[in-house]
Structures are given as C-alpha cells and as structure tokens.
C-alpha cells in the first residue's frame, strides 16, 4: 500500500503521521506537530490523507422511523427532515444505521450521527487538492476505531485527554452508544488535574445510571491521562472499575514506550471504517468524477491495445471511438455540473406527506396500547377508558388484583413499579397506588399527566 498521512486536528495544531501499511501493521515513517497556519505548506507535496477533526456541533440521536418507509433513500429523506426540523440553521451531513429491534410494530429505531457540513468543510481548508482526501471523520470515531482494534471485551469505556479537553466514549459490541467531549476552564495545573478527575468520575457515574443493563467493568485511558498518576487513582477511588491503558504497540512499529499516547487520534483516523466517515458532497463528487475519469482512461487504453493488435491501419476507427469517448466525458461533466439536490417543492411534498401521516397516527389509540402493553401483560386492567377530543388524547386505566400470599404481592408491586419507570420514559403519566398488605389487595389507577399528542411531538423533535 502507498504511503499515506494520518492527521488529527487538536485546538490550534495538527499531529501528522506519515505511515505505511504492511502485513496488517502500521509502520510510522515520520511524526510532526505543526501549527495550523503552516499545515497547508507542509502537506503541499503529500498525498492520501486520513483526517480526524474536532467538531463543536455533533448531533447524535435515536429516531423512530415508520416501517412503511422501506426504501433507503426515503429513510434518508425522512431522517433529514427530522434533523433539519430540530436544527434548521445547520447544513447537515449525517450517517445512520438501524438498531436491531423495533420499538413497536409500526416503527423502527434508527441511530443518527450528524455534523455541520459547512463548518466541517471549512476545517479542511488546509488541503489544497481535495481529491487526495481518503477519509474524514471526527475525533470520537477515530478513538472508537483504535479502541476496538486494541480492546476485545464486550462492553467498556474509553477516556482520552489532551490539554484541557476530555473525550469519553462508551462501547458495546464494537458500537458507540455514548460520547461526550468537554473542556475544563481551570487555569492552574493543580486545579486542571482535579477538575479533569471530577469530570471523568461524574461522567462514568452518568453512563452507569443511563445504561444500567450494561456492566462496564473496564475503563481504558489514553492521551495525557495515561501518563498521569493522580487522576487514575482518583477514578479508581470513586468508581468501581478496572483501569487499563490503551496500548496500540502490538500493531504499530517505530513508536515505543509512551510515544503512542500522543498520537492516539492520529493513529485512529487511519482505521475508521466507511460507516463512521463523514464525506462532504463536494469531496464525494470529486472522488466519483476521478473514478469515472480513470475508468474512461483505462477504457481508452484498452481500446488502443485492441485496435493496435488487429491493425495499425485501423487508427482512424480508434480516433472516432476516442472522439465519442470525449463526447461522453463532456456529457458526464455537463450532467454532473447541472445535477442538483431535491428542490424546495419536492422537500415540501415530503414534509407535507410526513405531517399528514403523523396527524393520522396521532388520532389512533395504537401508540397508547403499545406504550402500556407491558402493564397489561402483568395483569388485565379492570377498566380502560380512552378519549380523543379536539386534538387531545387521554386515557385512564385501573388495576385491582387480589393475592393469596404476601410474597406474591411484594413481587407484583416491584414488577409494577419497575414497568412504570420504563413506560414513563416514553409517555408522561401519573399513577395512584393503594396497597392493602393486610387483605393482600393491590389497587392502582394510571392516567395521562398531560396531552399525549403534544408530548409525542416533543419526542419526535
């Protein structure tokens, strides 16, 4: 494989690695730390760039998509509509993937990772020839790629620090399920150190509370924190986790001891898979154009060989074919330049269709029945009342269950409360519970806390 440059942009400077891949190993040929003002000049005669950037705006969300929208292009349009509705002033560039479960019979949950395309493209201004860009991504996906290469456990957390910046990601089954990037505001080395330690322990606590069903036992440290003694001790003291160091030396050559910690994000940017790359439309267009041009040149060369094989006297025929080839190339360039995104009329049509679908779905009790189905599976309600008036949806459900043993009453009450907590994450409801331990009787009344339709719209936004 040809030599390439792996670059990470951190604050006002860049870490540039000149690399060569050989036998599944990355051989470091050169390392440079360069100020951004001098980066363009340094890269002037170099090729094949893999870049990881900081991105202030990062939109990460799970969005419910109706299963009726099966076509991938329609799904992308639906997701773009949802993201733009929440972020109208941002030029959106996004990737998405389906989470392998349906939230209900009508919707599929899809994870979306989006960035500001305009800002992202401006951050690449140090590259004069955009056709030399092979991959662009954000720092968290560079860290994810390297961590997945080094760590084999099912669930873990990775913490990376540089200067005052803290980047924390949580991974399950090689997939990113949480990320957070923060910068401490302290000024002295002592307060910076303690603020970083406190921020990390608070984030670890949040992750464990947010994903209680996942057991994160390993925290991998990288960057400046991997060379620190105080912060890991603080983390161990306040979090019940195993501390390890992200150590890529098994597949990296020419970096020894602690050197890789400075270049973690640069190394990771060379390993990011296609699904976690963000390629602006202008770069994608250049790549497609170059691919077509090279294909046409190859085709022309093959035609020349074939024609020469049969007879040099057939050169006139070849010249005609070459002229036709140039015409086709000109048509392609013309078509490419005049190709546009969807018009506002077409986008409005999609938006209108989606809004009409949502209005129809909002008037049906299906969402309510699906939302409270776990409670009905615990016990059949004695009453269930549903009402739709003037765009407002409300319901009331009563439970009245008699038990023969006190232990069964305790178990039912525990399951009922746990199920209520889960349901309350998706729909705002309130409950009134009366437990008669003497007569072994459990009574509960569930009703809407406010307009369900309004709440549903807030969640979709």
Q: Which residues of 287-308 are buried (b: 16+ CB within 10 A; e: fewer)?
A: eeeeeeeeeeeeebeeeeeebe
End-to-end CA distance of the chain: 45
For residue 159, is it within any domain?
A: no
The whole domain housing 421 covers: 363-460
CATH number at residue 432: 3.30.70
Q: Give SS3 for 270.
A: coil
Q: Give SS3 for 396.
A: strand
d(CA 5, CA 320): 42
* Per-residue model confidence (pLDDT) at position 461: 41
For residue 211, is it within any domain?
A: no
Query: Taking the model in full, what pTM does it have?
Result: 0.63
Residue 105 in tokens: 């019979």
d(CA 262, CA 240): 27
CATH number at residue 112: 3.30.1490
Low-confidence ranges of the chain (pLDDT < 50): 451-461
For residue 24, is it within any domain?
A: no
For residue 20, is it within any domain?
A: no
For residue 375, is it within any domain?
A: yes
Last residue of a domain, one of 120, 144, 172: 120
For residue 265, is it within any domain?
A: no
Name the β-bridge partners of 219.
Answer: 157, 243
For residue 99, is it within any domain?
A: yes
Last residue of a domain, one of 120, 139, 173: 120
* Per-residue model confidence (pLDDT) at position 285: 79
For residue 25, is it within any domain?
A: no
**Total tally of structural domains belonging to the chain:** 2
Last residue of a domain, one of 102, 120, 138: 120
* pLDDT tens by residue, 407-441: 888 889 899 988 888 888 877 888 889 989 888 99
- Residue 383 near residue 396, CB atoms below 8 Å: yes
């Amino acid at each position: 494989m040809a030599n390439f440059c792996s670059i990470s942009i951190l604050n006002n400077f860049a870490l540039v690695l000149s690399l060569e891949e050989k036998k599944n190993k990355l051989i470091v040929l050169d390392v440079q730390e360069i100020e951004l003002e001098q980066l363009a000049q340094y890269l002037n005669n170099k090729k094949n760039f893999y870049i990881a950037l900081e991105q202030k705006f990062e939109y990460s969300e799970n969005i419910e998509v109706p299963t009726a929208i099966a076509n991938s292009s329609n799904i992308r349009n639906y997701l773009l509509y949802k993201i733009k509705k929440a972020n109208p002033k941002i030029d959106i560039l996004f990737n998405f993937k389906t989470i392998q479960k349906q939230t209900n019979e009508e919707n599929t949950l899809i994870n979306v990772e989006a960035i500001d395309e305009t800002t992202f493209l401006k951050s690449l201004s140090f590259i004069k020839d955009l056709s030399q860009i092979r991959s662009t991504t954000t720092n968290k996906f560079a860290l994810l790629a390297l961590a997945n290469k080094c760590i084999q456990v099912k669930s873990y957390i990775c913490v990376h620090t540089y200067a005052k910046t803290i980047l924390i990601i949580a991974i399950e089954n090689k997939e990113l399920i949480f990320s957070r990037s923060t910068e401490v505001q302290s000024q002295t080395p002592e307060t910076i150190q303690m603020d970083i330690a406190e921020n990390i322990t608070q984030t670890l606590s949040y992750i464990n509370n947010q994903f209680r069903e996942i057991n994160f036992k390993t925290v991998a440290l990288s960057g400046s924190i991997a060379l620190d003694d105080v912060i890991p001790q603080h983390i161990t003291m306040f979090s019940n986790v195993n501390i390890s160091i992200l150590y890529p030396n098994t597949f990296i050559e020419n970096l020894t001891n602690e050197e890789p910690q400075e270049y973690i994000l640069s190394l990771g940017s060379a390993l990011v898979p296609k699904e976690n790359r963000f390629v602006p439309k202008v770069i994608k267009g250049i790549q497609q154009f170059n691919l077509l041009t090279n294909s046409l040149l190859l085709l022309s060369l093959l035609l020349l060989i074939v024609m020469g094989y049969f007879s040099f006297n057939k050169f006139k025929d070849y010249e005609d074919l070459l002229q036709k080839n140039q015409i086709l190339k000109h048509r392609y360039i013309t078509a490419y330049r005049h190709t546009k995104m969807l018009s506002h009329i077409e986008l409005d049509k999609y938006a209108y269709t989606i809004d009409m679908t949502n209005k129809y779905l909002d008037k049906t009790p299906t969402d309510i029945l699906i939302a409270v189905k776990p409670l009905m599976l615990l016990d059949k309600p004695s009453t269930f009342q549903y009402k739709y008036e003037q765009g407002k949806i409300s319901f009331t459900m009563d439970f009245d269950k008699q038990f023969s043993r006190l232990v069964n009453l305790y178990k039912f009450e525990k399951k009922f409360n746990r199920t209520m907590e889960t349901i309350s994450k998706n729909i705002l409801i309130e409950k009134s519970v009366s437990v008669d331990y003497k007569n072994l009787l459990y009574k509960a009344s569930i009703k809407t806390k406010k307009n369900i339709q309004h709440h549903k719209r807030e969640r979709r936004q």
